[in-house]
Amino acid sequence: MSDHYNQSGNQQEMDLSDIFTLIGRLFKNVIYSFFRIFDFVIKMWWVFLLLIVAGIAIGFVLKEEPSYEANLLLKTNFTSQAYVYTAIEQFNNNLEENDENFIVSLGKLPESFSIKEVSVEPVVEVIDLVNYIGENDGALGEMTREFKLKDDRELFATDRFLSKFKFHKLQIVFDSDKNLEDIESFLSFINDNPYAKELKKEGLKNHMAYLESQEQSIVQINELINSLNKDNSISKQEGREGFYFNNQSENVASLFDTKSNLVEDLEIEKNDFISYTDVAVIVSDIQASKKSSIADNLIIIYPLGFVIIFLIVSGILSIYRSYKRETYALKG
């Protein structure tokens, strides 16, 4: 029995010894490989220097001019969302085609016009969307099945949902941050179109009529409340209270609630009317920031890439030569 335990203990000691020996060899191999690489770099320093200089030169030549972007909040008025999105798409198409006549038509010189691309997407107001879907049962599922869209943003950008959103995220890419006034030319392209002017004309007329109807409704409610209060006063004087009085009180309370809602909505609409200057209006500060990209680091990426590729190729060739020598040695 004791011999069995002694053999087990010796076996465990041998296993641990083998593990430590293996770890020691692995550590030595790592150190050896590191010094081999270091020695190789010292010997081939001139190659590395050439690669670094060549990489910096190529990176400098291929480096693109910095671009800038402005993230703005765009408000669409008069249910013009579909028109505005179509106009922006047409604007981008003209830029992609390098249509100089188009830029001249904006009152700008082609060589100084700084806008390179414009993108837009709706700012989804969840509460409004839920209310809309609640009023149109199954609308979201129906639209998803109908269009088979990959992204919810694509769904919200369809005509059916797009008209529900007044605010949109507008991203404009420039090649310079010194010509931000070109944004005015972009807005003029949208707002000065005859169709846009007609939308604005009819929209303002309808909105003014809506405000007048709201104000008239409030006046009528005030008159009705005064009339009911007068009836209640007469009923009290004649001693006819009871059910009739309670019912009239409930009617007056209901009218006050309706009036309160109308006044609140009217105040919102009047404040909103301030921005009804055009079909599309920017309602945020206009600022541009430098757009970061991988192209900004080409003078670092190219030298580093050349050095890494050279090390990999040299390592493969070294392994190949070592394998070839061993093969010849075995044959000999």
Q: How many helices (H) and strands (E) does the chain have?
A: 12, 5
Inform me whether the pLDDT recorded for 300 exceeds 50: yes
Q: What is the pLDDT of residue 190?
A: 94
Q: What DSSP string runs through 30-99?
A: HHHHHHHHHHHHHHTHHHHHHHHHHHHHHHHHHPPPPEEEEEEEEEE-TT-HHHHHHHHHHHHHHHHTT-
The span from the CA of 94 to the CA of 185, in Å, is 14
Q: Are residues 229 and 252 in contact, defined by beta-carbon separation less than 8 angstroms?
A: yes
User: What is the tens place of the pLDDT at every residue in 163-194?
Assistant: 778 889 999 998 877 778 899 999 999 999 99
Mean pLDDT (the chain) is 77
Q: Where are the domains of the chain?
A: 2-62+298-331, 67-193+277-294, 203-273
Q: What is the mean pLDDT of residues 31-50?
A: 84
Q: pTM, whole model, 2 decimals? A: 0.63
User: What is the tens place of the pLDDT at every residue in 304-326?
Assistant: 999 999 888 888 888 888 787 77
Inform me whether the pLDDT recorded for 269 exceeds 60: yes
Lowest mean pLDDT among 36-45, 88-97, 128-137, 189-198: 128-137
Q: What is the mean pLDDT of residues 101-109?
A: 91
User: What is the tens place of the pLDDT at every residue in 183-231?
Assistant: 999 999 999 999 999 999 998 888 888 888 888 888 888 888 777 767 6
Q: What is the pLDDT of residue 249?
A: 62
Inform me whether the pLDDT recorded for 140 exceeds 60: no
What's the token pair of residue 183?
């944004």
User: What is the tens place of the pLDDT at every residue in 112-123?
Assistant: 898 999 999 888
